[in-house]
Amino acid sequence: MKALMTGAVAAVLLASTAVQAQMKPEEMVETRQAGYQFMSWNMGKIKAQVVDGKEPYDQAKVAAAANAIAAIANSGMGSLYSPDTTTEQLGKATRLKPEFFQNLDEAGQIGRNFTAAANQLAKVAAEGDQAAIKKAFGDVGGSCKSCHDKFRAD
């Protein structure tokens, strides 16, 4: 594996080795799924208020939702990904394709794009311009999708 890692991705994975060592593969999967589920709930609130207009716009709530997404994105979720936590080892307990670890440069770039998009969403949500929030929300969703399309099993 190590020969495939380069630059920032290798640094992130190596830096997280100590914490990884304390978690079982199943715990890593459950924890990252919890993070994504909680982000999804908050994305749904922003969508309902700013994109679909199904809920009245409440700037404080949208900002709080965006903050939760950004803080989760910045919390070091990379340490919850190890090569023994894919569909290959865990079957239906996860949807992470083994290909993730054969394309770590791309996976790392997708992760950095996601974090940057989440930070931008939190920034514009704090400012309150709904058009900017809608744009930033779309960019976060796009970064989610780029990883799902590439590395998430159906």
Stretch that binds a copy of itself, among 68-76, 82-90, 99-107, 135-143 (CB under 8 A): 68-76
CA distance 28 to 120: 27
Asked if residue 144 belongs to a known ligand binding site, the reply is yes
Q: How many CA atoms lie within 13 A of 122 on its CB side?
A: 18
CA distances (Å), 102 to each of 28, 29, 72, in order?
A: 19, 19, 25
| Closest distance to a copy of itself from the beta carbon of 110 (Å) | 19
Helix (H) or strand (E) holding 32: helix 25-46
Stretch that binds a copy of itself, among 61-69, 91-99, 102-110, 142-150 (CB under 8 A): 61-69
The single residue among 43, 68, 107, 140 that binds a copy of itself, judged by CB under 8 A, is 68
The answer to whether residue 152 forms part of the interface with a copy of itself (CB under 8 A) is: no
Cβ proximity to a copy of itself, 61 vs 135, nearer residue = 61
The answer to whether residue 70 forms part of the interface with a copy of itself (CB under 8 A) is: yes
The answer to whether residue 17 forms part of the interface with a copy of itself (CB under 8 A) is: no
Contacts of residue 124, defined as CB under 8 A and 6 or more positions apart, other chains included, come to 132, 133, 135, 136
CB 62 within 8 A of CB 122: no
The answer to whether residue 126 forms part of the interface with a copy of itself (CB under 8 A) is: no
Residue positions forming the annotated binding site for heme c: 144, 147-148
